[in-house]
Amino acid sequence: MSATRSALGRVNRVREGVDWSLLVGVLLIALIGVVNLYSATSVAKAGRADVYVTQIYWLVAGGLAATLAAAIDYRHFERLAYVIYGGGIVLLILVFILGRDIHGASRWIDIGGKERGFRFQPSEFMKLILAISLAKYLHDDPKIPAGPGGGGRRLTDYVVPAVLAGIPFALVARQPDLGTALILLGIFGAVMALTRIRWQSLVTLVVGVSATSAIAWNYLLKDYQKLRITSFVNPELDIRGANWHSHHARVAIGNGGTFGQGYLHGTQNHYLFIPEQHTDFPFPVFAEEWGFAGAIVLIGLYTFVVLWGIGIASRARDRFGAALAVGVTAMIFWHVFFNIGMVTGVLPVVGVTLPLFSYGGSSVTTVLIGIGLLMNVSMRRNTFA
């Protein structure tokens, strides 16, 4: 009897606890994403035509994983944070050993054989793992400010989180996967922005970083090393006309005008001028078909999810929850900003997916698990320890 009551109570608690706004926002984006994917791939080779169906499978699978991520009390993640971190790093190293080469970069690990099985990208999950471990670090190291107005963290207080972020950054950058590496950096920056740094330390940091890089660039680095860096910062420039890609992406977006060419009627997509339209460039397809109005709605939805995520962080019951929510939100935000910034020409071309818009199992599951974690933090804000 009491067991039944307790079970009912748990269901009730879940129903009340579910963050319906977040759920609806995410589902809307996913729905639009699938609809757009149908249009994006309808023109391509027959082999890709059913990509949107696979994407639905991934959304379902990701949804299940998200439910799991939301159901397990996040304090378990807190407890196991560094174990998970260690596992992530091991997987990243394994990529170099087992990884398969695609377009000159090894990012994937095959599971269940190359033909039948699927492959996954450890670097995708590393973003969540980094958010978890940074949150764990801040949780364990409160550094309550000495007094009102004064105090704050010194530079030395950032050494450990910097190492935590630096190791996966270096490994991912080595693959090379600059886009994901930059996202890792962005997550690190956002989570660290939560802390209070001493203003003297901030000044030292800014001056130090700029001076070091200026000196290194002008005096220490040889020309071929500089070339390596420039081509590293913008790797695709040297491979095959990245300019061509971004040029046509911008034309397609511009061709959308105010209200777009209409669903399935985007000419630039239809005549194959948009490259990688199902992975890195789904946004131009969308913007051409739905115009400025559609683009505003989509960006609005993403902004809503991001602001809601920050809201969840602000109501989190502990430092781990707050930092985790910010980390996950930052991941989503940077993905959106980098991707749309890249296709509109605000940023150089770096391969970064658009959350829930781009096709891809690892990407979809990662984002959805992240949403699950946000939900987790949101649901447990009132839990008394």
Written as one string, the DSSP assignment of 24-90 is HHHHHHHHHHHHHHHHHHHTS-GGGTTHHHHHHHHHHHHHHHHHHHHHS-HHHHHHHHHHHHHHHHH
In the list 91, 95, 326, 328, the residue contacting other proteins (rule: CB under 8 A) is 326
What are the phi and psi torsion angles at 150 (to 5°)?
Answer: -100, -175
Residue among 230 and 303 whose Cβ is closer to other proteins: 303
**Strand 100-102 versus strand 105-111 pairing type:** antiparallel
Q: How far apart are CA 370 and CA 79, in angstroms?
A: 18
337 binds other proteins (CB under 8 A): yes
341 binds other proteins (CB under 8 A): yes
Tokens of 84: 């998970």
303 binds other proteins (CB under 8 A): yes
214 binds other proteins (CB under 8 A): no
Report which DSSP code applies to 100.
Answer: E
190 binds other proteins (CB under 8 A): yes
Residue among 76 and 116 whose Cβ is closer to other proteins: 76
CB 181 within 8 A of CB 334: no
In the list 109, 164, 306, 350, the residue contacting other proteins (rule: CB under 8 A) is 306
Q: Which stretch binds other proteins (CB under 8 A): 65-73, 77-85, 214-222, 293-301?
A: 293-301
In the list 26, 131, 252, 352, the residue contacting other proteins (rule: CB under 8 A) is 252
Secondary structure class of 284 (helix, strand, coil): helix
Residue among 117 and 262 whose Cβ is closer to other proteins: 262
Q: What is the dihedral of CA 95, 99, 102, 104, to 10 degrees?
A: 70
* Minimum CB distance to other proteins, residue 221 (Å): 23
Q: How far apart are CA 329 and CA 307, in angstroms?
A: 8
Task: Draw the binding track, 129-148, toward other proteins (x: CB under 8 A; -: no contact).
Answer: -------------xxxx---
CB 309 within 8 A of CB 335: no
Residue among 23 and 193 whose Cβ is closer to other proteins: 193
Cα angle value 30/34/40 (rounded, 5°):
135
198 binds other proteins (CB under 8 A): no
CB 246 within 8 A of CB 343: yes
* Minimum CB distance to other proteins, residue 73 (Å): 15
Tokens of 99: 């990884």
235 binds other proteins (CB under 8 A): no
318 binds other proteins (CB under 8 A): yes
196 binds other proteins (CB under 8 A): yes
81 binds other proteins (CB under 8 A): no
Residue among 158 and 273 whose Cβ is closer to other proteins: 273
CB 20 within 8 A of CB 296: no
Residues lying near other proteins in the complex (CB under 8 A): 142-145, 190, 193-196, 237, 241, 243-244, 247-248, 250-258, 267-268, 271-273, 287, 291-292, 295-296, 299, 302-303, 306-307, 310-311, 313-319, 322-323, 326, 333, 336-337, 340-341, 344-346, 381-382, 384
